[in-house]
C-alpha cells in the first residue's frame, strides 16, 4: 500500500493506475481480503461477499461490535421509535440546527460517564480524533505523539503543524525527552501529547497517569483516544482511564461509538465549556459536517444505559470470558497472540507473503477475520486482528481456532514450497 501513497506524474487520475494493477493482481489471485460486505448484520456467524461479489459464509471475528449491542432488541426498538418522530437525518451542522434533544442529552451523558464537565459530539470517531487536534493546535504549536497512534490522530497532527515528534510506543521516558527539548527552546507555544487508552494493533495500554503528570510538569495538554476500551473494559466499563484511576483527571478524552456502542459517531470530553464551544466552531469536522442523526444519538444513549446496568456488566464478563478462551485456544494451537486481554486478539503471522496465503484460505474454511499488513503494522509483522463479541459462543471460538489452524497449515505448506531453492522447485513441479 505504501508504495502507491505518493504517485508521480501530472495527471492526478492517470498516475494512480499502478495501484489498481497491483490491487487487481492480488484480487485475481485470491489475495485481496479487503473491502468485503455483509449480506446481513454483523452477527457472530454471517454471510458476506468479497469485493468481487463472491459469497463468503462463516464464523465472524471481523466486526467491531464488542458487546453485541448492534442487534440488541432494545437498541433496535429505540431506533425505530426515534425514526417515527424525528426521521432519519439531522439535516444540519451541530453549529447550526443539527442538534436534537437526543444529542444534547448524549453530550451530558458522555461527560458524566467520563467524569468530565463537558462533552461535544462529532459525526464519526475519525472526525473526533482529527478534529480535536486540528481544532486546538496551531502552526507554532507542538505535538508529541505515540508512534503507533491511530491514523486519524496522525492526520490531524499533520494538518495542524509541522512540529510533530513521535516517541517510541508507550515509552514515557522518551516522551519526557521530547518535552524537555521543546520547552528548552519554546516557552510561548502550546504542546499536545497524544496517546490511546488501548492500541488496536498491539492490544496494550500506556501509563496514562505518568503521561498526565508529564503534561502538568511541562504545561502540555494530554489527549487520550478511548475508542477501543471505553464501555467494554473495566468493571464499570470506564476502560483503562477508569482502571488507572484517571476519571476526570485527563485533559481531553476522545472516543468513538463504532466499537462498543452500536453506532457511528464520536466525541471529545473536556474540562470546561470554553473548550467545547471553541471546538464546535473551530474544529472543521464538527463545524462543517452534519450532526449525528437523531437515531444514532438515541441508540448511543440507550447503549450507555445498558452498559451501566447489570446486563452491561454481564456482557463485559461474557466478552472477557470469550477473549480469554480464544487467546488460550490460539496459544494451544501453536499461535502467538499480541498484548493484553481485550476484544482485539491479534494473531501473529510475520511474513506478509505467508499471511496473504493464509488469508486466501480463510473463506473456504469458513472464517471471517481481518488481515493487517504493512504499513498499518511494521514490515514483517503481519497479523490477523480477530475481534471478539460478547455473543460469541464457545463453539464459535473453537470453530474459529480450528479453521484458522487449517488455513495456516495449508498456507504455510505453500509458503515453504514457494521458498525452496530453484532446483528443488523443478524437482517437485
User: Would you list the DSSP string of 219-285?
Assistant: T-EEEEE-TTTTTTSSTTS-HHHHHTT-TTTSSEEEEESTTTSSS--EEEEESSHHHHHHHHHH-HH
Where do the domains of the chain lie? 37-66+311-428, 73-307
pLDDT of the residue at 419: 85
Q: What CATH number has the domain spanning 73-307?
A: 3.40.640.10
- Report pLDDT for 424: 59
Contact 126, 153 (CB under 8 A): no
The pTM is what? Answer: 0.93
- As averages over each run of 10 residues, the pLDDT of the chain (429 residues) reads 92 94 92 88 90 91 96 96 94 90 97 98 97 98 97 97 97 98 97 97 96 98 97 96 97 97 96 96 94 96 98 98 98 97 96 96 95 92 97 98 97 90 59
Report H helices in 186-231.
208-217
CA 110, CA 241: separation in Å to the nearest integer? 14
pLDDT given for residue 421 in this prediction: 65
| Joined grid coordinates for residue 318 | 461474557
Q: Which fold has domain 37-66+311-428?
A: 3.90.1150
Residue 364: phi and psi, rounded to 5, are: -70, -25
How far from chain centre, in Å, is Cα 360?
A: 24
Q: Which of 75, 58, 8 is nearest to 307 (CA)?
A: 75
| Residue 234 near residue 228, CB atoms below 8 Å | no
Sign of the Cα torsion 9, 11, 17, 19 reads positive
Amino acid at each position: 500500500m505504501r508504495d502507491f501513497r505518493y504517485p508521480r506524474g501530472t495527471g492526478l487520475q492517470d498516475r494512480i493506475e499502478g495501484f489498481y494493477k497491483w490491487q487487481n493482481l492480488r484480487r485475481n489471485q485470491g489475495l485481496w481480503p479487503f473491502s468485503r460486505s455483509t449480506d446481513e448484520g454483523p452477527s457472530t456467524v454471517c454471510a458476506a461477499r468479497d469485493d468481487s461479489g463472491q459469497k463468503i459464509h462463516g464464523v465472524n471475528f471481523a466486526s467491531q461490535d464488542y458487546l453485541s449491542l448492534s442487534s440488541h432488541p432494545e437498541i433496535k426498538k429505540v431506533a425505530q421509535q426515534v425514526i417515527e418522530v424525528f426521521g432519519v437525518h439531522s439535516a444540519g451542522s451541530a453549529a447550526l440546527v443539527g442538534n436534537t434533544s437526543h444529542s444534547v442529552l448524549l453530550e451530558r451523558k458522555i461527560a458524566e460517564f467520563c467524569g468530565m464537565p463537558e462533552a461535544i459530539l462529532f459525526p464519526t470517531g475519525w472526525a473526533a480524533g482529527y478534529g480535536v487536534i486540528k481544532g486546538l493546535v496551531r502552526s507554532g504549536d507542538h505535538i508529541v505523539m505515540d508512534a503507533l497512534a491511530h491514523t486519524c490522530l496522525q492526520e490531524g497532527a499533520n494538518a495542524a503543524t509541522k512540529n510533530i515528534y513521535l516517541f517510541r510506543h508507550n515509552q514515557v521516558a522518551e516522551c519526557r525527552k521530547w518535552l524537555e527539548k521543546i520547552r528548552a527552546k519554546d516557552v510561548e507555544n502550546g504542546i499536545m501529547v497524544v496517546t490511546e487508552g488501548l492500541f488496536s494493533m498491539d492490544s496494550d495500554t500506556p501509563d496514562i497517569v505518568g503521561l498526565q503528570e508529564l503534561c502538568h510538569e511541562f504545561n502540555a495538554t494530554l489527549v487520550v483516544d478511548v475508542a477501543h476500551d471505553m464501555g467494554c473494559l473495566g468493571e464499570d466499563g470506564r476502560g483503562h482511564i477508569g482502571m488507572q484511576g484517571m476519571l476526570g483527571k485527563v485533559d481531553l478524552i476522545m472516543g468513538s461509538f463504532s466499537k462498543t456502542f452500536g453506532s457511528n459517531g464520536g466525541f471529545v470530553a473536556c474540562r470546561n465549556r470554553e473548550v467545547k464551544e471553541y471546538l464546535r466552531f473551530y474544529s472543521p469536522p464538527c463545524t462543517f459536517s452534519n450532526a449525528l442523526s437523531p437515531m444514532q444519538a438515541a441508540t448511543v444513549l440507550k447503549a450507555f444505559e445498558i452498559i451501566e446496568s447489570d446486563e452491561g456488566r454481564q456482557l463485559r464478563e461474557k466478552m472477557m470470558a470469550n477473549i480469554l478462551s480464544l487467546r488460550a485456544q490460539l496459544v494451544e494451537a501453536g499461535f502467538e497472540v499480541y498484548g493484553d486481554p481485550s476484544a482485539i486478539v491479534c494473531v501473529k503471522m510475520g511474513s506478509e507473503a505467508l499471511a496473504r496465503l493464509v488469508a486466501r484460505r480463510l473463506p473456504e474454511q469458513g472464517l471471517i477475520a481481518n488481515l493487517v499488513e504493512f504499513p498499518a503494522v511494521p514490515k514483517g509483522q503481519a497479523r490477523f486482528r480477530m475481534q471478539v463479541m460478547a455473543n460469541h459462543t464457545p463453539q464459535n471460538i473453537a470453530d474459529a481456532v480450528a479453521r484458522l489452524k487449517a488455513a495456516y497449515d495449508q498456507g504455510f505448506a505453500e509458503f515453504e514450497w514457494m521458498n525452496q531453492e530453484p532446483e528443488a522447485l523443478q524437482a517437485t513441479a
